[in-house]
Structure 1
């Protein structure tokens, strides 16, 4: 199971700051997260960047393994 960390609005929408999810790809992960956390989380997830082991994963075909760490990062404002 991939280990997830949710930040800021993603953590708020999920109601937690972390999870472990069984998914074979980023696309599978997105679908499972929407199933687990619902429509509001889906809206937030659509705005988020996903980092797999520190590298941005924008393609749903990116493969995941059980040892991967995925950060779910909503857009940040500031300067």
Structure 2
């Protein structure tokens, strides 16, 4: 199963630091994460979601070995 890691506010909203997921595309994963973690649904559209360190489209297929990072917008500088 693909492994999803949550950072900062996304981690707080999901209530977990990481979890395995079996959705077949990034779009399916986004929908499933919003359903599984309602608090995450409010910020997920603003988050960068990286598959293997790269931003990809929602129709991108996911593989069992994928590492997916959910990164909310960060402020500062």
Unaligned runs of 5+ in 1: none
Superposition RMSD on alpha carbons, in Å?
A: 0.8
Q: What's 1:62 paired with?
A: 60
Distance in 1 (alpha carbons) for counterparts of 2:6 and 2:52:
14
Which residue in the other structure is 2:33 paired with?
33
The separation in 2 between residues aligned to 1:78 and 1:17, in whole angstroms, is 23
- Provide structure 2 residue ranges, at least 5 long, that are not aligned to the other structure: none
Does 2:68 correspond to 1:73? no
Match of 2:42 in 1: 43
Match of 1:7 in 2: 7
TM-score w.r.t. length of structure 2? 0.95
Provide the aligned length of Structure 1 versus Structure 2.
77
Q: Distance in 2 between matches of 1:27 and 1:56?
A: 13
